[in-house]
């Protein structure tokens, strides 16, 4: 029976940064640079060849110092030149953020992962669901999901409603939490087996967004990117918990253990 490890693509000997994918991360606003840093580090640790971060101009010095491997911009006119796009962490929910999301959805023709503030914007303007390209990945926690599907009676009802959303709009959705549920666009449901309660810490979701973005940029199909990303994220969290305990670990520890997670899977 195939395992999650079978999803990993061996890297060719002649690979270079241009063949390993160029990701665009749209993250961070005034006073919220940390989410962009965490997602950026996870994206690079996940194996992306190049990363450009679109963020507030005030965050540029922070990003260039914390993630020197990344290119940092405060504006972007061409969303089509990237292999994959991640949007949402810390972008805010004001009119400017909503216009940015709309502009991206109108022009982008590559795989997209949507998280955090971008999900909140979609929750209050649900016509945007129809603008999401097929096989877009959404990464909500329960509250963000409720903003889109409404409050449900129990977890079983929440999962059933999410399956309807996924199949109707051809989305791939991870409901973040203990044994995160992954709902694919064909209605198939997978439950993750990695992760621990120490991952209930600020920034953990930003790390997941960056990791999934990295896999999309490396041309993994969205269904593989979401399953492998969630599994690796939880595995890195398990490794971090062994090093720091479930009380002492922070989101940065998860990002920094992505490489060890790959190694433990034989890569």
How does pLDDT run across 211-225, given as a tens digit for each residue? 999 999 999 999 999
Structural domains of the chain in order of their starting residue, each with its CATH number: 15-264 (3.40.1190.20)
> In whole angstroms, what is the distance from residue 125 CA to residue 148 CA?
9
Mean pLDDT of the chain: 97
How does pLDDT run across 156-213, given as a tens digit for each residue? 999 999 999 999 999 999 999 999 999 999 999 999 999 999 999 999 999 999 999 9
Report yes or no: 167 and 186 within 8 Å, Cβ to Cβ.
yes
Average pLDDT over residues 75-97: 96
Residue 96 has φ and ψ, to the nearest 5°, of -65, -40
How does pLDDT run across 3-20, given as a tens digit for each residue? 899 999 999 999 999 999
User: How many other CB atoms sit within 10 Å of the CB of residue 207?
Assistant: 32
For tokens 């109108």, name the residue. Answer: 106
Q: What is the pLDDT of residue 164?
A: 98
Q: What is the pLDDT of residue 1?
A: 60
Average pLDDT over residues 127-139: 97
pTM value > 0.95: yes
């Amino acid at each position: 029976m195939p395992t999650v490890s079978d999803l990993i693509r061996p890297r060719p000997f002649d690979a270079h940064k241009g063949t390993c994918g160029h990701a665009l991360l749209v993250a961070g606003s005034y006073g919220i640079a940390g989410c962009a840093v965490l997602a950026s580090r996870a994206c690079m640790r996940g194996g992306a060849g190049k990363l450009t971060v679109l963020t507030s101009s005030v965050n540029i010095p922070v990003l260039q110092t914390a993630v020197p491997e990344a290119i940092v911009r405060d504006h972007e006119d061409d969303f089509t030149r990237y292999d994959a796009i991640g949007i949402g962490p810390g972008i805010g929910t004001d009119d400017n953020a909503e216009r940015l999301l709309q502009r991206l959805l109108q022009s982008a023709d590559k795989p997209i992962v949507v998280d955090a503030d971008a999900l909140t914007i979609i929750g209050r303007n649900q016509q945007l669901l129809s603008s999401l390209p097929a096989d877009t990945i959404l990464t909500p926690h329960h509250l963000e999901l409720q903003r889109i599907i409404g409050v449900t009676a129990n977890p079983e009802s929440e999962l059933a409603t999410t399956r309807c959303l996924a199949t109707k709009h051809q989305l791939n959705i991870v409901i973040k939490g203990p044994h995160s549920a992954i709902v694919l666009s064909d209605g198939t449901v997978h439950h993750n087996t990695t992760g621990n309660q120490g991952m209930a810490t600020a920034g953990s979701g930003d790390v997941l967004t960056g990791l999934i973005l990295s896999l999309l940029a490396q041309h993994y199909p969205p269904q593989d990117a979401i399953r492998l990303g969630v599994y690796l994220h939880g595995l890195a969290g398990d490794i971090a918990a062994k090093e720091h305990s479930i009380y002492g670990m922070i989101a940065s520890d998860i990002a920094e253990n992505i490489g060890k997670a790959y190694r433990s899977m034989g890569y």
